[in-house]
A and B are shown apart, each in its own frame.
Chain A
Amino acid sequence: MNTENTMQDKVKEIVKKYKGDKSALVAILQDVQDEYRYLPKEALLTIHEQMDIPMARVYEVATFYDAFSLTPRGRFIIEVCTGTTCHVQGGMNLLDTFERSLRINCGETTEDGLFSVDRVGCLGCCSIAPVVRVNDTIHPQMTQDEIPRVLRTYMAKRYGR
């Protein structure tokens, strides 16, 4: 079976879970995003066919919300909190340093597919600001000079060390 078919089946399964309920479009896209870490074009086409929702509508919703990405995202998604507290504690400088260290801009993914850098609205961890979230782990009181070490830890994880 080729990947396109498997993807179609997977997406059909997700759509089925919501019984084709058109109002569940956001939830369905969230599940697809969880599965593939982005919204592949084929998946969106399958949703459009299966749910009988115009492609323009699917595309509109997929591009409206920040949680969705139309391009593949990295294995480790680095999100710098840009809440007000993190901002006054120097959060923006962290974002700059990540961009500089990984040589990508905010919203992009490194060529090897390992890291994506993004900003995120307040995570509500203001007591330990500034914070950076990498996948599900929140790093408290981050400083610029800690960034190389944090990146090395995650790089090592890729090689299973």
Chain B
Amino acid sequence: MSKINTLDALDKAAKKGRDLLFPSTKIRISIGMTTNSIAAGARSVYDAFLEEKKNKNMKFDMVKTGGMGFDSVEPIVDVVIPNKPRLAFAKVTVEKVPVLLEQVARLNLDRELPFYRVDEQEDIFTGETIQYVKGRLPRVFSKISLREEIPFYKNQLKVVTRNCGVIDPENMEEYIARGGYYGLHKALTEMKPDEIVQEIIDSGLRGRGGGGFPTGIKWRSCREAEGDIKYVICNGDEGDPGAYMDRSLMEGDPHSIIEGMIIGAYAIGASQGYIYVRNEYPLAVENLNRAVMQARKAGLLGKNIFGQKFSFDIKIAKGAGAFVCGESTALIASLEGRAGEPRAKYTHTVEHGLWDMPTNLNNVETWNNVPIIIARGSKWFSQIGTKTSSGTKVFSLVGKTNNIGLAEVPMGMTIRDIVYGIGGGIYNDREFKAVQTGGPSGGCIPKSLLDLPVGFDELADAGSMMGSGGMIVMDDTTCMVDIAKYFLDFLAKESCGKCTPCREGIRRMRSILEDICSGGGQEGDIELLKEMSDAIIDGSLCALGGSAPSPVLSTLRYFQEEYETHIKGKKCPAGVCKKLIKFRILDEQCNGCGKCRKVCPTRAATGSRREPHKIDQNLCIQCRACYEVCTFNAIIIE
């Protein structure tokens, strides 16, 4: 990679990238290669393509991209045929590869129908439309649905995730071809630092990590703070269970984070940056490291970026498995090589942060928004979303919906549109019960609030929070008391132990919930839980403790009846709490296949072949194995 220090050099790199993204002669086949798609088999499919290419001496480019978002149909294979619509095939297996290749080569698409096609696409960075189809659309393509017609994609607006699943994250030129580093060039050569800060303030961008603090205001405070050295940090310690958009961005579009950070550093006056990545994300670390090296080689990190009097570099640090390190002061402690305990924020980190110097910390998705705000302007950005929450938000729509994956939508979309529109409704047509947002600091939103628009303030008013964007959809087989217990269990483990109310209080609350779930609930438990919640909220330094009771409070707010059924009726209506349920085999449904007998670890399930089986309640440990394995719906939970 040659140096990129002028607009000309940037254009040249972009041209190279465009030739790869829109090949004029060769077919380009790309596979979304993320942690979850690899687990779903993407790597073996990738290898199968290479194998077939070698064996049949075929000519096409093979590329690994980031995640395409629609995770429940992975592995997804994306095919760009010169001058023809872009095609995507879903749930590709190794066996399907030869057929698929033959079809694409001959443009005969009958045997393995593509999942969708893309004829044209708006380049979000420039606002221009990219035409994939040159001339008339060949008839063979007309029976394939357009991507815009697929419910999962229909109402999405990909701003932050614009590059994920499109570009090869290992190739910087492809990033540049999609408008990358142009925002940086504009910021450094055409704008004063104050103007950049003002632009971010005007855009209305709020921190995507959870709190929703206005990003521009934070930048301004840090810019105005006194200090010889200033730092910018990217918080990639994504710990909320059920949220993985930051991982997807770090894996699929690392340069965008880097560009955002360089712009931020220039605006604030920082000279050193850190990206703190969660320990469980090895692929993200790998891709970020490579991207930082590439940017350094191109002169986009280092001294005199774009020939300006501005120098900046980035180091990558790996977390070591502590949820509390997602909290800014704990993260800084960890970066300094200490145990990640938060401190009281009498002075803000923007004034006294890393090494006691002014430090600006933003989340991955926040940094990712920066280049596009600079490139297209705050006015364009603030038009998206709602008045108080501008822009888009990436949600990880997971749990009991039909479609699972990362969905980016304008702020203000209703939960119903997300769950039933994008998510395609509840799996097996069961009943929607709640959606959990905000991770362990958030809460559960019930059916009655399905029409709530998602935004920072709306979710907070409903007793939950935006958090980092996890949306775990639950149906009638999810027990809300068990969920509350689950989060307290998580928090009890992750509490750093500094503040007594958090350390001891969460454990006590958990043991009350354990009692309730195992039939030992008592009159007055609910009141006690509420009282303890207040004490923990008041008595904790950081947001972990301050919001720890939220899962309990929100489930109590909307599902108190379910608590009462557990306490008074000693029953778990959802059939989850082990001590309150019994498994029974229905004689009329059981054909005596013996699967339950074989899988039962305690020999509680017995019976003769082809005769209805029985479960001995004295031996049963409610492990659920028989229930999972029975294909005749003969086992019921009482």
| Chain A residues in the interface with B (C-beta under 8 A) | 21-27, 29-30, 57, 60-61, 64-68, 82-85, 87-88, 90, 93, 96-97, 100, 120-129, 131, 136, 138-140, 143-145
Q: Are B280 and A120 in contact (CB under 8 A)?
A: yes
Q: Is the CB of B320 within 8 A of A131?
A: no
Q: When chains A and B are docked, how far (Å) is the Cα of A83 from the Cα of B340?
A: 21
Complex partner residue of B625 from A25, A30, A68, A144, CB under 8 angstroms: A144
CA distance A124 to B283 in the complex (A): 12
- Would you call A93 and B399 a contact (CB within 8 A)? no
Q: Is the CB of A121 within 8 A of B399?
A: no
B contact residues around A126 at 8 Å (CB): 36, 71, 242, 244, 396, 398-399, 404, 472
Q: Given contacts A84-B436, A88-B472, A139-B39, are A127 and B625 in contact (CB under 8 A)? A: no
Q: Is the CB of B474 closer than 8 A to any CB of chain A?
A: yes
Which single residue of chain B is at the shortest CB-CB distance from A28?
A: B337
User: Closest CB of chain B to A36's CB: distance in Å?
Assistant: 16
> Is the Cβ of A67 less than 8 Å from the Cβ of B599?
no
B625 touches A93 (CB 8 A): yes
B624 lies within 8 A of A84 (CB): no
Least CB distance from A153 to B in Å reads 16
Q: Tell me whether B629 and A85 are in contact (CB under 8 A).
A: no
- How far apart sit A104 and B334, CA to CA, in the bound complex (Å)? 32
Within the complex, the shortest CB–CB distance from A66 to chain B, in Å, comes to: 3
Given A82-B490, A128-B39, A144-B624, A88-B320 contact (CB < 8 Å): no
Bound Cα distance from A129 to B241, whole angstroms: 12
Quick one: closest B residue to A86, CB to CB?
A: B241
In the assembled complex, B339 has its CB within 8 A of some CB on chain A: yes
Q: Are A121 and B39 in contact (CB under 8 A)?
A: no
Across the interface, do A61 and B436 meet the contact criterion of CB distance under 8 Å? Answer: no
Name the residue among A25, A124, A139, A143 with the largest chain B CB count within 10 angstroms.
A124
| CB–CB A125/B39 < 8 A | yes
- Shortest CB-to-CB span from A40 to chain B, Å, is 17
Question: Measured between C-beta atoms, what is the minimum distance from A85 to chain B in Å?
Answer: 5
A residues in contact with B625, CB < 8 Å = 93, 97, 144-145
A48 to B72, CA, bound (A): 48
* A150–B400 CA distance with the chains assembled, in angstroms: 26
- Given A26-B334, A26-B337, A144-B628, CB of A83 within 8 Å of CB of B35: no
From B281, B320, B624, contact of A30 by CB (8 A): B320
In the bound complex, residues from chain B placing their C-beta under 8 Å from that of A65 are 319-322, 339-340
B240: chain A residues at CB < 8 Å are 122
Asked whether A93 lies within 8 Å of B623 as measured between CB atoms, the reply is yes
Q: Could you tell me if A125 and B337 are in contact, using CB atoms closer than 8 angstroms?
A: no
Taking CB atoms, residues of chain B closer than 8 Å to A139 are 39
- Whether, in the assembled complex, B615 has its beta carbon less than 8 Å from a beta carbon of chain A, the answer is no
Given A64-B339, A122-B244: A128 and B40 interface contact (C-beta under 8 Å): yes
Chain B residues lying within 8 Å of A82, measured Cβ to Cβ, are: 241, 490
Q: How far is the CA of A124 from the CA of B74 in the complex (A)?
A: 14
**Nearest CB on B from A91, distance (A):** 10
Tell me whether A127 and B74 are in contact (CB under 8 A). yes
Q: Given the interface contacts A65-B320, A122-B243, A122-B244, does A128 sit within 8 Å of B336 by beta carbon?
A: no
Q: A21-B337, A128-B39 are in contact. List 16 more A-B contacts (CB 8 A).
A: A23-B336, A26-B337, A60-B338, A60-B339, A64-B341, A84-B398, A84-B399, A84-B483, A88-B474, A120-B280, A122-B241, A128-B36, A128-B40, A131-B39, A140-B39, A145-B599
Q: Say whether B156 faces chain A, with CB atoms less than 8 Å apart.
A: no
Chain B min CB distance to A117 (Å): 16
Task: Give bound CA distance, A145 to B341, whole Å.
Answer: 41
Question: B242, A122: Cβ atoms under 8 Å?
Answer: yes
Check B404–A23 contact: CB distance below 8 A: no
**A60 CB, min distance to chain B CBs, angstroms:** 5
CB neighbours (8 Å) of B244 from chain A are: 122, 124-126
Which residue of B39, B238, B334, B439 has the most chain A CB atoms within 10 A of its CB atom?
Answer: B39
Interface contact A29-B399, CB-CB below 8 Å: no
* Most chain A CB neighbours (cut-off 10 Å) among B36, B282, B318: B36
Interface residues of chain B, those whose CB is within 8 Å of chain A, are 35-36, 38-40, 71-72, 74, 238-244, 247-248, 279-282, 317-323, 334-341, 396, 398-400, 404-405, 436, 439, 470, 472, 474, 478, 483, 486, 490, 496, 598-599, 601, 623-625, 628-629
**In contact, A127 and B628 (Cβ under 8 angstroms):** no
- Measured between beta carbons, the chain A residues less than 8 angstroms from B629 are 143-145
Distance between Cα atoms of A29 and B319 in the complex (Å): 11
Take A88-B399, A126-B71 as given contacts and tell me if A144 and B623 are in contact as well, using a CB distance cutoff of 8 Å. Answer: yes
- Point out the residues of chain A lying under 8 angstroms from B323, CB to CB: 121
Using A26-B337, A145-B599 as known contacts, say yes or no to A68 and B320 having CB atoms under 8 A apart. Answer: yes
Report chain B residues within 8 Å CB of A140. 39-40
Chain A neighbourhood of B241, CB < 8 A: 82-85, 87, 121-122
A38: shortest Cβ distance to chain B, in Å?
Answer: 14
Are B35 and A138 in touch, CB under 8 angstroms? yes
User: Which residue of the partner chain, among A30, A87, A97, contacts B486 with CB atoms under 8 Å?
Assistant: A87
Listed by A's residue number, 16 A-B pairs whose Cβ atoms lie within 8 Å are A26-B334, A26-B337, A27-B317, A57-B338, A60-B339, A65-B319, A66-B322, A82-B241, A84-B398, A85-B398, A120-B280, A121-B490, A124-B280, A126-B472, A144-B625, A145-B599
Contact assessment for B35 and A66 in the assembled complex, using a CB-CB cutoff below 8 Å: no
B335 touches A23 (CB 8 A): yes
Evaluate whether A121 and B239 lie within 8 angstroms (CB atoms) in the complex, with A100-B601, A131-B39, A143-B628 already known.
Answer: yes
The distance from the CB of A54 to the nearest CB of chain B, in whole angstroms, is 12
The 6 closest A-B CB pairs, nearest first, are A124-B244, A127-B71, A66-B321, A65-B320, A126-B398, A138-B39
Which of B74, B279, B598 neighbours the largest number of chain A CB atoms within 10 Å of its CB?
B279
Q: Which residues of B contact A29 (CB under 8 A)?
A: 320
Q: In chain A, what residue has the closest Cβ to B628? A: A143
A138 partner, pick from B38, B339, B340, B470, beta carbons under 8 A? B38
Are the CB atoms of B320 and A67 closer together than 8 Å?
yes
Partner of A64, one of B39, B242, B282, B340: B340
Measured between beta carbons, the chain B residues less than 8 angstroms from A23 are 335-337
In the complex, what's the smallest C-beta–C-beta distance from B424 to chain A, in angstroms? 13
Which B residues are in CB contact (< 8 Å) with A57?
338
- Smallest beta-carbon distance B395→chain A, Å: 12
User: Are B317 and A83 in contact (CB-based, < 8 A)?
Assistant: no
Nearest CB in chain B: distance from A133 CB, A: 9
- Neighbouring B residues of A67 by C-beta, 8 Å: 279, 319-321
| Cα separation A120 to B336 with both chains bound (whole Å) | 25
| Complex Cα–Cα for A35 and B377 (A) | 49
Given known contacts A23-B336, A127-B405, is B320 in contact with A83 (CB within 8 Å)?
no
Cross-chain contact of B623 among A24, A27, A96, A123 (Cβ < 8 A): A96
What chain B residues lie within 8 Å of A66 (beta carbons)?
Answer: 279, 320-322
